Chain A
């Protein structure tokens, strides 16, 4: 089956309090081998997955935050963040990590694929996807 599908990973949970954030990332990493068109969307508490400066030494849990910054190498071209979710949480894009992306063939580079979007844009992006994964 050579048809490429638009995958959207819908992330709505904060990291560490539950395992959903980490285990959904594991799906994204494995999914890279399948060459689909992959985007991630962060809504509600999902926006907390991208905060800078996560330090889990004290809670003795694996700190997986660095993995987000490598997603550009795993075939992820877009990481959308819901604006209203950020604002409700007193956050701005400055609180979030930057994720670089490069196309190995064309050498096109994007400095940061994390993009803050309004809900109606988010709704459109979800609607245009072929498959939505929820965790």
Chain B
């Protein structure tokens, strides 16, 4: 029994990612999208917290949003899986419900 948590704001703009990580349960799927994808990049001040979350949760990022913002797969934290909108739909279906951490 696990949910899909979506985070669409940059971790440097709001605390939505941090709060989401506090409230996400083990086994959860976390999808970073829109400005939230900045948390998926290597070398940021939040990289460690994202990697720590990956110990018991699966982290995804919307590939199109990363590309739009000028980055490619090589800049993404290892283990963060890129998905497209169809993949987003699949995640919403595969998990019990969606929690939007706006």
Q: Do A and B interact with each other, yes or no?
A: yes
Report which of A123, A130, A131 forms a contact with B23, defined as CB distance below 8 A. A123
Contact of B25 with A12 in the complex, beta carbons under 8 Å: no
B69 at the interface (CB under 8 A from A): no
Report which of B16, B22, B98 forms a contact with A123, defined as CB distance below 8 A. B22
A126 at the interface (CB under 8 A from B): yes
In Å, the complex CA distance between A101 and B25 comes to: 30
Number of interface residues of A (CB under 8 A): 17
Contact of A43 with B99 in the complex, beta carbons under 8 Å: no
Q: Shortest beta-carbon distance, B20 to chain A, in Å?
A: 10
Interface set, chain B 53-97, CB cutoff 8 A to A: 97
A110 at the interface (CB under 8 A from B): no
List of B residues within 8 angstroms of A134 by Cβ:
99-102
Interface set, chain B 1-34, CB cutoff 8 A to A: 1-3, 15-16, 19, 22-25
Contact of A124 with B19 in the complex, beta carbons under 8 Å: no
Interface set, chain A 1-39, CB cutoff 8 A to B: 10, 12
Report which of A10, A123, A130 forms a contact with B24, defined as CB distance below 8 A. A123
Residues of B near any A CB (own CB < 8 A) = 1-3, 15-16, 19, 22-25, 97-102
A-B CB proximity, top 8 nearest: A134-B100, A123-B23, A132-B99, A119-B22, A127-B25, A123-B25, A134-B102, A44-B19
Residues of A near any B CB (own CB < 8 A) = 10, 12, 43-44, 84, 119, 122-124, 126-127, 129-132, 134-135
A-B contact pairs, 17 of them (CB 8 A): A10-B99, A12-B16, A44-B15, A119-B22, A123-B23, A123-B25, A124-B25, A126-B3, A126-B23, A126-B99, A127-B2, A127-B3, A127-B25, A129-B97, A130-B97, A132-B97, A134-B101
